[in-house]
Structure 1
Amino acid sequence: MGRKFIVGGNWKMNSDKDQIAEIVKNLNSGPLDPNVEVVIGVPSIYVAFVRSILTETIGVAGQNCWKVAKGAFTGEISAEMIKDVGAEWVILGHSERRTIFGEKDELIAEKVAHALEAGLKVIACIGETLEEREAGQTEDVVFRQTKALLPAIDTNWENVVLAYEPVWAIGTGKTASPQQAQDIHASLRSWLTSNTSSEVAENMRIQYGGSVTASNAKELAACPDIDGFLVGGASLKPEFLDICNAQVMC
C-alpha cells in the first residue's frame, strides 16, 4: 500500500486559547485528505485543551519531553504526562532544541527511547546547519544524528517518523529545492537499508521540514522519498489545510 503521507504542524511557542480555538475550528471543518495522517505539535500547557476540542482523526503531539518518567526536574514534562492528557505523539530533536538549548545526539536518543517505552509515537528530527551544508557535510551530519537513534528505537520503527529539517531553511523563508530535499531523503533511505534493513528503509516515513508553504508543498510532495512535512509557521494559518492536502493535488 505504500507509506502513508504524514503532515505535522509544529506551533512552537505560539498562540493563546482564543487563537487555538480558531485554528482548531479550521482544522475540524476541513476538508482533509483521509489518506493523510495529520499531527499537531502543541505547547505543553495546551495539550489537554487541544485534544478536547480537536477531531479524533487528527493526532496531538507534545513538542518535547524529558528522558525519565518523574523526578526533580523543575520545568520539564515527561512522556507519561503528555500521554496522560491525551497526546499520542512527541516531537524530539528539533533543531531549535539542538541549537538553542544545546541538546546533543545522545540526550535526544535517550528521550526517544523513553518516549517509545512510555507508549508515545515519535517525530525524530535531524538536519544540518548552513555552515555544515556549505562545507559539504550534510550527509555526514544527518547520518550521524540518525545513527544515534538506532539503539533507542531498536525494533520500534513503526512508531517513529524521521523529519529531515535543514536548519538553514527553518523560519528563514528559504527552502531546499525539491531536488535537494529528494536527494537527502533518498540518501537517508539508502543509509537505513545499509544500517537497519531494507524493510525498515522501505517503510520509514521521512518528512521534510523547512519553510514549507502552500505554494511549494505540491512540488515537494511529488518527490518519491518525501513522505510528508513538518510545518512551522504555516501550521498556524488557514493554508495549513492546503499543505495537508498537497498530495491530492500532485
Structure 2
Amino acid sequence: LTSWGAYLPGGPPLGDLVRRILRLVPDLPRLRISSIDSIEADDALMQAIATEPRLMPHLHLSLQAGDDLILKRMKRRHLRDDAIRFCEEARALRADMTFGADIIAGFPTETEAMFENSLRLVDECGLTWLHVFPYSPRPGTPAARMPQVAAKTIRGRAARLRAAGEAAVEQHLDAQAGQRHIVLTEGPRIGRTEQFTEVAFGADQPEGALIEVEIAGHDGRRLIARPGS
C-alpha cells in the first residue's frame, strides 16, 4: 500500500492520500490502513498517525523475517533495526498503536540463529497479530534454487511463531479489561475496536454502528463487552 503514488505525477506519498481523504470526507468516522512496508512510511503518514484520531491505531506490517541476511535474500528493502525503529516511532506518536505482521518460517538457508532473530522480533517490535506462513517453494523462483530447510523444521518453527503470537494476543486481551472502546459493529454480535480487536456482544446490535462499550474480559480470542455498557 505504501507504494501508492509512485507512478503518479509528482509521486505523492501515501500520507498525502490519507490526509486528503480525511479532509475531503469529514463525515468518515474511521480510516484503517491495510498492509504496509514500514521502510516506505513517509513523513506525511507519520504526521497523520500523530494528529488524525480518525486514522485507526492499527498497522499490519509486511516484515517477513527478522534476520538481516534472510531479508537480503528475500530482496526486502528493510533491515530488522528499521522495523524496530518504525514500531517505536509509531508507538511514540500514538501510544495505543498495535501492530500485526506477516512472518515466514523456514525460508531457504534459515538457520536456528536466524529464526531466533525472527522470533525475538515479536517482542522487540511489540507485535500483537501474527500471520505466520510456513515457507513452501514455488518452481522457477530464486528461493526454490536455494538450499531448503527440512519440512519438519519448518513446521516446528511455524508452531513456535504461532505460540509467540498467541501469547502476544493473550497479553493484549488481558490489558483491555475495564477499558472503554468505540467498537464498529460488523454483525449483530461482533465488532472491532480501534486496534482491530474483535469484540463479542451478548445481545444483538445494529450493524455498521459505532458503539462505546466497557470490556468485561475475553474468551482467549476476542474481547467480551460488558452487558449494558
Q: TM-score range by the shorter chain?
A: 0.3 to 0.5
Larger relative contact order (CA 8 Å, sep ≥ 6): 1
Whose strand proportion is higher, 1 or 2?
2
Max Rg structure: 2
The structure with more helix, counted as a fraction of residues: 1
TM-score by length of 2: 0.41
TM-score (normalizing by structure 1): 0.38
